[in-house]
A and B are shown apart, each in its own frame.
Chain A
């Protein structure tokens, strides 16, 4: 591998002063948005579960930042990743800390505009902007980044960020169910394993890998339990559940599992007491599309759940929320080769990302959506796309055709990393929810 040259390939020279100023303003805005979001969530559901308090704390990045910093002092390594395909089990087995470093700050995307055109995915621009002013604590604390080459934006993002951090690329094949694709991906997993071992200095042995897999299996169990509880009448507002799902991306996984189980216990109690978070006849909406990262990107869920008429998000197909943990690693024999096989297959084959293509037109995603609609009793689907994402935008017609044949209304909502179109989004979402309410009334 070529040595990284000292000269920055993309990043311009910015004065320290400017960096400090921007960082201060944006961090303050970010804190405000976080507090405001949480306040709004509390307001919508006055009986918000007490167990949510822990997640509110993690949502404010400072607490976790302190913990990771302390861990780094003790010599632990932090590995950041930008896409769901990074094998978390391998990172955990090597006693390193995995964190997702996608950026959800709107203001940072304007900074990214200095380097890449505005047509590029806003999340990519925002991550670049966040790196320019050292805004994201997780991005700063990462010792290395895993960049999975899923879409054009992600491919180049890794390259741009390599100006600051070592970036390990993982090539993912665009067709996932052929033998050669699995071979390629298995090789990538093996290579990454070697790289992780080299960075951390810990060899990944069978025993550690087994306990790492069991850890994520437990997390998946807690996660599924939470989603199952959203099936019936609403016990938890969509934003709260989404926050719980999101915090998995940064939090200590064992503790997260524990707290989520506690939340589920509380929710089960609410079910028995028939203590609903909002009226049971509220239109049930599902979100699908590009990921929504905390804090700024809570725009659309907030609008849905605070609209008049109110809607509730009961499920979603977002890779920042329900796609994180839905599939477990299924190990047949606990030998090293089978565990690695299981990990490779779980990350490659269970994914519903539209970056894959297949003859049956990403039928996995369609089946997943249809299953959700049936079991979670979904009345309407909001197809959310951030402007610039070709893959999700192109699959819209496919999803719409299927939904039309099933009689489920779909609304295409495309937006940007900006607060300026809140008024327009509100009009559309309210009209959509009105439509759903009218259908329910019939």
Chain B
């Protein structure tokens, strides 16, 4: 066991270092306004690699679930901004869009807010669908232990929805797409296949899967972080923090100083998920469950100490006078 872990660590570290090397060169040449973005990119890549290795051991899956759902009580939606592999895929597509200089689109504010609340509905729907599908094929008995087993590892594996985005593109199991022995997968695609298999034939299921992939690709090409706006995993993460009793809990949050803010609107404009609370709220702790803590707003705010990322009272990252032009784009 230990040697396997050692092997895994070695490979992860190696992969990470190479990428780090490339990115460090890029960061050094870039301006202050994008340094944290590149750091975040690096972290996302490392975590995608780590997820790949973690998935090879089933016991880790449960631990992953605990980590994803317990830690955010304290850290907020840090997972969404820095670890989620689906986010990495969406950010990579955004990078492609930037290179070909295509303009991004914005959702109207009302629609964005609607989707934000709609997430919870989606989340419930996904929890309920497996039970509904049982109606097609009712089991012999309905006792609680059976239900629990169904919930956690039954044929429709509803909780796997929650782990949906955690798919590194190359998977260590039999994924839906195989090319010369390497298995590829895509976030949520296996769940989509699972559900559509109930009703449709294999041929149609494949088409549906590809349509799903295509839609999310196109979506995240024109809308930044399109899935994050209605991601059910995102809804479940730190959902407790929305309730008044738990508002104190996220130790990692964004803090705003009222007097330094000039309402220039840069934070609202650069936010990939179109959060407006950072702009609209006057001062203090910004708690909004839509924010993925990508800290782009803090990075781009041009007034010293106006926005800060605070961890338990201590400032880990503050907005500063980044006025140094970038040399490459």
Contact = CB atoms under 8 A, between A and B. Distances in A.
Q: Do A and B come from one complex?
A: yes
Interface of A: 177, 179, 206, 210, 214, 217-218, 220-221, 224, 326-328, 330, 332-338, 341-342, 345-346, 349-350, 352, 364, 367-368, 370-371, 374
A374 B257 CA distance: 13
B102 A328 contact: no
Interface string B231-271: 00000000000000000000000000011111111100110
B270 A332 contact: yes
B300 interface: yes
Interface of B: 33, 98, 101-104, 109, 258-266, 269-270, 300, 302, 321, 323-326, 329
Nearest to A206: B101
11 contacts: A328-B302, A332-B269, A332-B300, A334-B326, A334-B329, A335-B103, A337-B103, A338-B103, A338-B104, A345-B264, A350-B265
A218 B261 contact: no
Contacts of A334: 326, 329
Given A364-B262, A367-B262, A345 B321 contact: no
B259 A220 contact: no
B264 A350 contact: yes
With a 10 A CB-CB cut-off, give which of A224, A334, A335 has the most chain B CB atoms. A335
Contacts of A224: 321, 323
Contact of A364 (B101, B263, B326): B263
Contacts of A221: 321, 323-324
Q: Would you call the interface of chain B mostly helix, strand, loop, or mixed?
A: loop
B316 to A, nearest CB: 22
A4 B192 CA distance: 66
A218 B326 CA distance: 11
Contacts of B266: 330, 342, 345
A186 to B, nearest CB: 12
Nearest to B108: A179
Contact of B101 (A179, A218, A335, A346): A335
B263 A350 contact: yes
B110 to A, nearest CB: 11
A368 B323 CA distance: 20
Q: Closest 5 interchain pairs by CB?
A: A214-B325, A221-B323, A330-B266, A350-B264, A337-B103
A367 B306 CA distance: 12
A306 to B, nearest CB: 32
A346 B264 contact: yes
Contacts, number: 74
Nearest to A210: B329
Nearest to A346: B264
Contacts of A210: 329
Contacts of A214: 325
A370 B98 contact: no
Nearest to A211: B325
Nearest to B283: A367
B302 A330 contact: yes
A43 B260 CA distance: 36
Given A330-B302, A350-B262, A345 B269 contact: yes
A371 B101 contact: no
Q: Would you call the interface of chain A mostly helix, strand, loop, or mixed?
A: helix
Contacts of A336: 101, 103
Contacts of A338: 103-104
A177 B329 CA distance: 30
A212 B259 CA distance: 30
A330 B300 contact: yes
A333 B323 contact: no
A345 B265 contact: yes
Contacts of A328: 302, 323
With a 10 A CB-CB cut-off, give which of A326, A330, A368 has the most chain B CB atoms. A330
A349 B325 CA distance: 22
Nearest to A348: B265
B325 A177 contact: no
A326 B259 CA distance: 15
A411 B24 CA distance: 54
A217 B325 contact: yes
Given A332-B270, A338-B103, A367-B262, A327 B329 contact: no
With a 10 A CB-CB cut-off, give which of B98, B262, B329 has the most chain A CB atoms. B262
A337 B321 CA distance: 24
A181 to B, nearest CB: 11
A332 B260 CA distance: 21
A330 B103 contact: no
A374 B304 CA distance: 14
Contact of B323 (A179, A220, A345): A220
B153 to A, nearest CB: 44
Contact of A327 (B98, B104, B302, B326): B302
B90 to A, nearest CB: 15
Contacts of B264: 327, 330, 345-346, 349-350
Contacts of A352: 262
Nearest to A358: B263
B257 to A, nearest CB: 9
A342 to B, nearest CB: 7
Contacts of B302: 327-328, 330
Contacts of B258: 367
A327 B262 contact: yes
Given A206-B101, A335-B102, A342-B269, A368 B325 contact: no
Contacts of A206: 101
Given A221-B323, A332-B269, A334-B329, A370 B259 contact: yes
Nearest to B329: A334
A352 B103 CA distance: 30
Nearest to A176: B263
A60 B262 CA distance: 34
A364 B306 CA distance: 13
A349 B302 CA distance: 14
B259 A374 contact: yes
Contacts of B260: 367, 371
A371 B259 contact: yes
A221 B322 CA distance: 9
Nearest to A215: B325
A311 to B, nearest CB: 24
A179 B276 CA distance: 13
A250 to B, nearest CB: 22
A371 B303 CA distance: 11
